[in-house]
Amino acid sequence: MTATSPEGHTGLLRPEGSPVRVLIVEDEPAMAELLSTALGYEGWQTRSVGDAGTAIQAACEFGPDVVVLDMMLPHLDGPTVLRKLRTDLPGVPLLVLSATAKEDVEDRIAGLLRGEDD
């Protein structure tokens, strides 16, 4: 899925003037659509994928400026995908979505040590 902004709305732009690109890696279609639509309304170009294998391929093809990554993906765990994306996309911010109730400091620190940016 790719979303773009409504006519006339401008958001953040890349240095060459094109919209910021966001890769959304989310296996729940409703959540992926919600994120894609919201970011599209801000003028950002999005691409949504629903599994780890497609995410890694899409990251290389799409050239995102930021990645929103669901840590609970089927077939390949989030930390493995995170490490692969961190290797393939050095310097690209990786924002992590997690549906767990874990909110202790140790879990947050562990996530940052894995390479999560937020």
Chain centroid to CA 65: how far? 9
- Residue range 66-112, pLDDT digits in tens: 999 988 888 887 788 888 888 988 888 888 877 654 556 676 666 66
Q: Contact, 44 vs 22, CB < 8 A?
A: yes
CATH superfamily of 17-114: Response regulator (3.40.50.2300)
**110: number of Cβ within 10 Å:** 13
Single-letter residue type at 26? E
Question: Between residues 11 and 5, which one has the greater pLDDT?
Answer: 11
pTM: 0.76
Handedness of CA 92, 113, 71, 77 (dihedral sign): positive
Q: For residue 24, which of 76, 73, 69, 74 has the smallest C-alpha distance?
A: 69
Domain boundaries, the chain: 17-114
Q: Is the pLDDT of residue 9 over 60?
A: no
